[in-house]
Amino acid sequence: MSIPYSYSVKKGSICSGDVSIAGVAREYGTPCYVYSHDSFRSRSRNLVESLNTIRSKEVKVFYSMKANPSPVILNWAREAGLHSEVSSMGELEMALAHGFDPTDIILLGPGKSRALIEAAMTHRILGLVVESPREAKIAAELDNGVTRILVRINVEQGIPGLDESMIGGVEKFGINASELGRTLDDLGTVGKDRLGIHYYLGSQILDHETMLKYHTVLLREIAAYSDMIGTVDCGGGFGVPYSDGDTELDLYGFADGFSKLLLSNGLSDKEVWFETGRYVAADCGIFVTTVMDVKKGANGRTTIITDGGMNDFFRIAFMKSDHPIRLINRLGDDHSNETAICGPLCTPLDNFGTSVGLPAGVEEGDLIGIFKAGAYGLSMSPILFLLHSIPKEIAIKDGRVFPVSKNDLTPFGVYSKILSA
Ligand SMILES: Cc1ncc(COP(=O)(O)O)c(C=O)c1O
């Protein structure tokens, strides 16, 4: 089992630096997310340093807030030199409130309201990605003379076998490449320096050769419009190894191949942007939940019930994803007893796996850790479902442990606030 990046095992306990994650969970209570700054910082550094070897006018890397908009993570992203990619009014407000300069922010995503585009233009953010002729028209009308406008394109061919392919048949995203020329013409008054093209292949790609193969298709489309644009946002899709057989993406191999693609398509003079959430945030987070009950089925199989469920960590149920799961207070024990791990919700969908390898003899009070939970953890979870408690977020930085917010967020608190407004 791969230990998440920058974590280590000390005296049988998973730790960030010298801080034991089981100790943090016992002190602050579960369910909780624990975030390690060491991990976030080293993953960010890896990505930024490798992408900066790309031979182009300039490379910028944007943190995709959708992966984890927790205030502490936004601070860490800013400190790591990442810019900010937002996809809603809420994310735009969070980026501005957490110290990102408007000139560091880009906005993208389908179905933007006129009000959202107007807010982006009023704040004079760095870039706005338009995803349809309608959005392009609004952007041209509201153009502030500062914000770069990028047109997102899509192509016929998707990525076979990639669950989260966002090119190909997925017409929700961007405009068809055949409409690109017309849309860029419509935005002609914006001018080359502020005009650009965006594409996003898909998420969780682990093989750099596969990535390069699809960038080849997209960059070839873009090459024809090179004279009209100054910026290319090439998205991301930088994956992280979740399952045992997964391997780390070769980022330097990617950067080298990508430089060659820019050169062969006459695009080396462009500013190149990338977006990432998962690559920098996934490893930094561990979701911890306590065993509340242990049951033995008629077939002798063990089922455990935990205090956290899919309301707190939806990704496994929703994406059928395969996160490493360990009993973190008995990390060194043999994890080969097939166990069903179920949350407290009144639905059979609420489980973290029906045959997860755990030690034999799991007891009430033991701690389950779900690793690589720093991206698409809390942000993707239906926290109001059944009105259980909302997980705490605890951060570890330079050996210091602190809760992300002063007050616990509770479903009752959320509704009280709405009702009293
Ligand atoms: C356009 C776009 N950019 C960036 C991301 C972030 O992806 P990831 O967290 O896998 O890096 C996504 C995820 O859906 C996306 O749709």
Predicted confidence (pLDDT) per residue in 9-50, tens digit: 998 899 999 999 999 999 999 999 999 999 999 999 999 999
Which ligand 1 atom minimizes the distance to the CA of 109? 1
As given in the structure block, the two tokens for residue 73 are 């993570």
Mutate to test the pocket of ligand 1, among 48, 275, 278, 376 (most ligand atoms within 8 A of CB): 275
Query: How many Å apart are CA 207 and CA 238, to the nearest integer?
Result: 9
The four Cα atoms 254, 258, 261, 266 give a dihedral, to 10 degrees, of -170
> What is 7-30+284-420's CATH number, 3.30.70.20, 2.40.37.10, 3.40.50.620, 3.90.550.10?
2.40.37.10
The neighbouring-strand residues paired with 148 are: 127
pLDDT of residue 26: 97
pTM: 0.96
pLDDT of residue 195: 98
Mutate to test the pocket of ligand 1, among 203, 204, 232 (most ligand atoms within 8 A of CB): 203
- Where exactly are the structural domains of the chain? 7-30+284-420, 38-281
Amino acid at 369: G
Nearest CA to ligand 1 atom 11: 276
pLDDT of residue 421: 62
Residues lining ligand 1, Cβ inside 6 A: 64, 67, 108, 166, 200, 203-204, 235-236, 238, 275-279, 375
The four Cα atoms 239, 244, 245, 250 give a dihedral, to 10 degrees, of 40
Mutate to test the pocket of ligand 1, among 64, 68, 197, 273 (most ligand atoms within 8 A of CB): 64
CA pseudo-torsion sign 203, 208, 209, 213: positive
CATH topology of domain 38-281: TIM Barrel (3.20.20)
Low pLDDT (below 70) residues in the chain: 1, 421
CA pseudo-torsion sign 35, 37, 42, 44: positive
